[in-house]
Amino acid sequence: MSIKIIGAAYGAKEGSFDVTGLVQQHVNNKGDELKVTNQDLGDPAPGHTKHFGVVYEIEGNRNSLACEEGQTVLFR
């Protein structure tokens, strides 16, 4: 199964990061499960709860996911 990350962002209104490349690297090397953490994605807004959003494609089908910091997403 090939996963292509179209775009991914992580942050809060106080600051955010474009994490598209990091998430693509993660799925290429570690598979279709990602725990959303500051350790893996950086901390764009220290002291604030962050959210993660991603748009991705699997076999030509476009999907999107969103979650809060600390949750796990599955690209399926």
Checking if the pLDDT of 38 tops 80, the result is yes
Distance from C-alpha of 59 to C-alpha of 23, rounded to nearest angstrom: 18
Please state the domain extents for the chain.
3-14+25-74
Residue 6 identity (one-letter amino acid)? I
pLDDT in tens, 50-75: 999 999 999 999 999 999 999 999 99
Q: Biggest alpha carbon distance in the chain?
A: 38
| pLDDT value for 34 | 97
The DSSP element (H or E) to which 25 belongs, if any, is helix 20-30
